[in-house]
Structure 1
Amino acid sequence: MLTEERIKYLEKQGYRIVGNHSAIKTCHYCKAAIKGKDVCYKNTFYNIASWRCIQATVTLDLCNLRCRWCWRDINYGTTNGSMFTDKPQDIVEGFIKEHKNVLMGFYGSGKILKDRLDETMKPKHVALSLTGDACLYPKLPELIEEIHKKEMTSFVVTNGTITHMVKKLINQQPTQLYITLPAPDKETYLKMCNPIGGNYGWENIIESLYLLENFKRTAVRLTLVKNMNMFNPESYAKILEDKGFKFLELKSAMPIGDAIYRMDYSEMPSHEEIKKFAEKICQINNWKLVDEKPESKVVLIMKENTDERFLKEEILET
């Protein structure tokens, strides 16, 4: 599935390959947190320990959409989930092994918090958000079960087009399910996300958004780009007004990875622009902007601000 040339390229980008179609990549905030410098927005918003988080994928390089702002190489894509055959247990064990291998070298550095690095060797969270769409993996419910067996929490990020898998997850729920709403209307979606198979996916996204009411913890993500999908807040508000999500994140897309070939730095919204756009949606639907992380250009909206957004200690502790 992955050529040797492609594997070498991905490894140079910091990916650690797991099996035939999975990978991890230790993110900037994990390393920064070990050094006591910074934490990611998931810590700020939800109490996830950044230094104990594995950023991962079970569908390396492959997605059924080709969004203009995506950091992956959109020349690779598929709608066929049958090619993803590795066993969930093997994948999860591979995630943990590679996570430890990457970060073990920090013990030789004097610029770390030793207690955090010790905790890093016992990861507590898996974010299936690295690249591709996790819902293409046919055994995603079993994978989530394996993650939870290891006493780790799980965030699953999906574009919402693979509705049959979203339905399956109702019976094996991740700790938090994310669905991306990529556009304010179908025409913009088709133009900016360029789905494999042509006129496909918008209705599935809307159906998946309706399914969110069946999950315990859910988030909708708006990844915004000027001149692409950052307009008509009224339409976003209308789409979301009757959907059963708990959290709504608005985040600036960034020209990183292969996205540098498809978006310009001038199209990256500033944090203040993201915040103003979010405030318009809040005003329309009478929601509340409850938190923000300016360094990441991201804000959090809730219908009502409660402390339920912070994952409880009994879930997070070993």
Structure 2
Amino acid sequence: MMGVSRVLELPDELLYLWHAHRTEIFLSAGILYAIVRLTLEWRRQKGKHILTPPVLTPLPETDTASLPIKAHLIEAEHFDAAIPVSKPAKPKAGPKRVTGKKTKTIQQATAIEKIQPVIFYFTLGRSTKAYAQSLATLLNDDDPRLLQPQVHDLTQIDHDDFFVSPPKQNGTSYFYILLIPSYNIDTELHNFISNLDETHHDFRIDTAPLSALAGYAVFGFGDKEGWATEEEGYCSQAVEVDKWMARLTARKRGFPLGTGDTKGGNVEGAMGEWGQGVKAVIIDVLEGKGLGEGVPGSGEAVESDDEDEEQAQDTGDVQLAWPARKKKRAAGDDLEDLKAPISVDFTTTRPSSNLPPPPKPMVPGSSPTYSSLTKQGYTIVGSHSGVKICRWTKSALRGRGSCYKYSFYGIQSHLCMEATPSLSCSNKCVFCWRHGTNPVGTTWRWEVDPPDMVFQGMKEGHYKKIKMLKGVPGVRAERFQEAMRIRHCALSLVGEPIFYPHINELLAMLHREHISSFLVCNAQHPDQLRALGPVTQLYVSIDASNKDSLRRIDRPLHRDFWERFQSCMDILREKRFTHRTVFRLTLVKGFNLEEEAEGYADLVQKALPGFVEVKGVTYCGTSTAAGAGLSMQNVPFYDEVKAFVLALEAALARRGLDYGIGAEHAHSCCILLADRNRFFKVPKEGGQAKTWHTVIDYPAFFRCLESGKSFGPEDYVGAPTPEWALWGNGGFDPRDERVDRKGRPKVVEI
């Protein structure tokens, strides 16, 4: 029992000893820790090597007189001699700092059999194109190894064909030359720069996919009156292109970035000198002298993107557990050996010196885009919307017929307002009659005007233009009065209306005033399409039946354009129960007319739209269309459109889809296919025979909308399609008078 009691008293004794001697224990532990730290520090200092002798140490004398003259004299012909490469120093002992930079291996340049210069340019006013052609002439040479330069407009090529991987040709290397102007407005150049950015950051693509190039060079055009320095924007887009090309080519810059002031400077002179320098570099590469990446041993050449990379590296270093202490510089320390302490915390975010710039207007009032669009008859509303009078509106005011919307859906053209809340588009269609002047983009990056401002501006602009027509000969007074009350809005003027962030609010404002809505989209924005609210009729432009044709015709800006297109087809299939959906097929002879009926039938089977509009392309006769390879030869005759529609109808029937020709409008070269199950039925007024019902009951649409209940397209089907609009009757209202170009009455046999 005594032993057990002694054991039970042991914890109390230990606790007593701890309280009595804890101060001595803490002091002893601290002293022991300090001794260990000092010992480790002393051993580290002892192992340090002194690379240079201490200050004021006498140097051993060398008899320079006995050295040969060539050892300390450099003659003129020795400038081309190869520079010896210094051996890398031995790494220090100790823990290594892991960085993400790849060690460069110095490779001796080898001669290239042939070089193909490729000149890329972007232009709005054609001046850059002239400079590109002049540069191509300058680069012509008698040397057979230097091939004749190719010249490409950046808006007319597929960027992936040149900037994801260079063209391949046996025995030939490519040298890219880019002529880049800078604008303070959004142009297609912004999309090109975005593509370079995406290519660099795409994990599916090699880090330097253009490293096979022989080299590249960039020349920028700017205006020093508006932007005096590079920081203010002078040649800023050329600088950005140069930065991305440096990354994509593994820094194969053949010649420094050149700039030219278009207002106050001698652009031709600067361009000529720069072009001579580029030509000399290409000759050097052909002779195996390389690009001149810098002198070995003198440090890395500073690139325009080095600062970003250094910041990215700094944020990845590990902070030591104890604070860094300042060290006194020893007398024998060499400046090259002294390193600053590394102090970066994992919790530190990347420093940002500049705040993101505020969004700019899509179409500033002082921009060339604004001037070009207003010359074409547009009224610019706010900073990104527009309204314009359609030629069919003028025709209807004079009693000379309405467009196909009247024949198909009962909309008189003089009651219709054609507008858009977004002048920007995500496609560059070859048949676009907007002269290619509207802005382009894949994301909304501009100022956003409120929907009430857009709505009021559209109405004011439309009414103002209607009033300007009151003195036009032939305008009917009763139709002029009717035109002063908008009954319908076609959101199809230009651009991508669904792109506008407040499109649902704008549609609600239209419907609140009993203005029906037709909205057209290009099947490139599935998220916006999925979120779209009620609309009287929803159009989707289907300009091709397969990926390659869509790329050639629509020239979409999105890289995943086909995936977006297919997603929109799935969304349309879901929306057919809540929206009146329409496929719009624009036929371009030589692009999508021949042997594509089967492909279109597959798309109809996938989305099951209520209607399919088939329309021949309208040639606008502009140089933009000619540049895209479009001419009058690409405009199909009406007989060719009819043959295509009959082939499409048969292809749909083979798939078990019951579509038929519901109406036509020969003047517009347009034919309407409709779903028989929903729109071919017995009239409400009575009768035994079924007939087409493609006309919309607009009052019924507003009643359904205001009821707050769910409804579908069958709930506002209107009266039977007029007899004169049915297949075989031409589709021209007999109450109007058709005239020729000189205003004389015209009799047309159908």
Q: TM-score, normalised by structure 2?
A: 0.40
| 2:379–2:388 contact (8 Å) kept in structure 1 | yes
Residue 64 of structure 1: aligned partner: 426
> How far off its partner does 1:207 sit?
2.0
Residue 561 of structure 2: aligned partner: 201
> How far off its partner does 1:191 sit?
2.6
The 3-state SS of whatever aligns with 2:671 is strand
| 1:248–1:301 contact (8 Å) kept in structure 2 | yes
* 1:211 lines up with 2:567 in the alignment: no
| 2:516–2:698 contact (8 Å) kept in structure 1 | no
Q: Judging changes above 3 Å, is the alpha-carbon distance between structure 1 residues 315 and 37 closer, same or farther for their aligned structure 2 residues?
A: farther
> How far off its partner does 1:92 sit?
1.1
CA displacement, residues 237-296 of structure 1 (integer Å, 9 cap, x when unaligned)? 112124231110011112216435431011011111111101101011122112111111
**2-side partners of 1:26 and 1:19: how far apart?**
18
CA displacement, residues 12-48 of structure 1 (integer Å, 9 cap, x when unaligned)? 1111111111111100111110111110001110011
The 3-state SS of whatever aligns with 1:81 is coil
User: Over aligned residue pairs, what C-alpha RMSD do you find?
Assistant: 1.9
**Higher mean C-alpha displacement, 255-264 vs 90-99:** 255-264
| 2:569–2:606 contact (8 Å) kept in structure 1 | no
| 1:84–1:138 contact (8 Å) kept in structure 2 | no
**1-side partners of 2:497 and 2:447: how far apart?**
10
| 1:124–1:316 contact (8 Å) kept in structure 2 | no
Residue 175 of structure 1: aligned partner: 536
> How far off its partner does 1:7 sit?
1.7
Question: Which runs of 5 or more structure 1 residues have no equivalent in the other structure?
Answer: none
**2-side partners of 1:156 and 1:311: how far apart?**
15
> How far off its partner does 1:210 sit?
2.4
- Larger relative contact order, structure 1 or 2 (CA cutoff 8 Å, min sep 6): 1
Identity %: 29
User: Which structure has the greater CA radius of gyration?
Assistant: 2
* 1:309 lines up with 2:694 in the alignment: yes
Residue 155 of structure 1: aligned partner: 518
Q: TM-score, normalised by structure 1?
A: 0.93
* 1:292 lines up with 2:652 in the alignment: no
**Higher mean C-alpha displacement, 205-214 vs 296-305:** 205-214
Give 1:9's aligned amino acid: S
* 1:45 lines up with 2:408 in the alignment: yes
Residue 189 of structure 1: aligned partner: 550
**2-side partners of 1:288 and 1:197: how far apart?**
34
* 1:276 lines up with 2:643 in the alignment: yes
Question: Which runs of 5 or more structure 2 residues have no equivalent in the other structure?
Answer: 1-361, 654-658, 681-691, 703-750
Give 1:300's aligned amino acid: L
**1-side partners of 2:398 and 2:700: how far apart?**
25
| 1:179–1:209 contact (8 Å) kept in structure 2 | no
Q: How many residues align?
A: 313
> How far off its partner does 1:161 sit?
1.0
* 1:115 lines up with 2:478 in the alignment: yes
**2-side partners of 1:43 and 1:112: how far apart?**
19
Q: Judging changes above 3 Å, is the alpha-carbon distance between structure 1 residues 303 and 96 closer, same or farther for their aligned structure 2 residues?
A: same
**Higher mean C-alpha displacement, 98-107 vs 42-51:** 98-107
Q: Judging changes above 3 Å, is the alpha-carbon distance between structure 1 residues 228 and 93 closer, same or farther for their aligned structure 2 residues?
A: same
Give 1:211's aligned amino acid: I
The 3-state SS of whatever aligns with 1:309 is coil
Give 1:303's aligned amino acid: D
**Residue from 625, 646, 667 that aligns with 1:259:** 625
* 1:238 lines up with 2:598 in the alignment: no
| 2:661–2:674 contact (8 Å) kept in structure 1 | yes
Residue 460 of structure 2: aligned partner: 97
Bigger share in helix: 1
Residue 250 of structure 1: aligned partner: 614
**2-side partners of 1:190 and 1:101: how far apart?**
39
